[in-house]
Amino acid sequence: MAELVFYAGTMDCGKSTLALQTDHNHSSRGRRGMVFTQHDRAGESVLSSRLGLEVPAVEVTGDLDFRQHIVDYLSAGGALDYLICDEAQFYSAEQVEQLASVVDDLGIDVYAFGIMTDFRTRLFPGSGRLVELSDRVQVLQVEALCWCGSRATHNARTIGGAMVIEGDQVVVGDTGGAGQATAVAYEVLCRRHYRARRTTATAAEEHMSSHTLPFSVQPD
């Protein structure tokens, strides 16, 4: 029986790598699949991981109807056994319902991968609906780490290294770490440092300040 499975985790926990591995495992056994993604770091129409692997993918737009897209593909003579759906947090609740329909009505497995919560610690609509509808929700076991070394559980948005908690839910930015030249960046933090708004950049600034001499040296 076909299943809708949601693999969830924070940034940097290997979601896209697992999506690529899942596609490889199924395709190597002769199963026929289709890959979807949205806002991938490598650009449109590709699913990539930080390990340098990538495969072509269908870019998910706001007006994409998953069920109709698959029905049209099958009607044209295509065959499908499974879908890989990366960055599923960005999908609309209606699109998640369409994926459930693909599973139940068309008998096609759907493996969705995504972040559970946004930079405000609020559920993404797509992730929330996946939790409600999926046959299984699996939290990824690869632990992303906060700058302090503790397990990272929260996704933080930064501007110039400073953490922000207001703004649009979806803003594409750099995920290479805080304090970079890009205006908007993301990093993962433990709950304690998320609540304290202590990012990599602010922690580094505090460290430098604590090592500054408490007096100034005057020239002779």
Integer angstrom CA distances of residue 77 from 57, 71, 89, 124: 19, 10, 30, 35
Give the domain range for residue 203.
144-208
Tokens representing residue 4 in the block: 């809708």
Q: Which residues are catalytic?
A: 87
Query: What pLDDT was estimated at residue 173?
Result: 57
Query: What pLDDT was estimated at residue 213?
Result: 45
Q: Which of 72, 132, 126, 124 is nearest to 102 (CA)?
A: 72
Question: Taking the chain (220 residues) in consecutive chunks of 10 residues, what is each chunk's mean pLDDT?
Answer: 94 83 95 88 58 78 97 98 96 98 98 92 94 95 84 87 82 54 80 90 72 47
Helix (H, G, I), strand (E, B) or coil at 93: helix
Q: What is the CATH number of the domain that holds 184?
A: 3.30.60
Same domain, 162 and 75: no
Does residue 85 belong to any structural domain of this protein? yes
Question: Do 54 and 104 touch, CB atoms closer than 8 A?
Answer: no
Same domain, 114 and 83: yes
Query: What pLDDT was estimated at residue 7?
Result: 96
Does residue 20 belong to any structural domain of this protein? yes
Neighbours of 38 (CB within 10 A): 24
Does residue 66 belong to any structural domain of this protein? yes
Q: How many domains does the chain have?
A: 2
Does residue 5 belong to any structural domain of this protein? yes
Query: What pLDDT was estimated at residue 220?
Result: 41
Same domain, 56 and 153: no
Same domain, 131 and 155: no
Query: What pLDDT was estimated at residue 178?
Result: 44
- As to burial, measured by CB atoms within 10 angstroms (0-12 exposed, 13-18 middle, 19+ buried), residue 60 is buried
**How far is 4 from 108, CA to CA, in rounded Å?**
9
Does residue 218 belong to any structural domain of this protein? no
Containing H/E element for 214?
A: none
Plot region of 189 (φ>0 → left; ψ -120 to 50 → alpha; else → beta): beta
Query: What pLDDT was estimated at residue 215?
Result: 44
Same domain, 29 and 101: yes
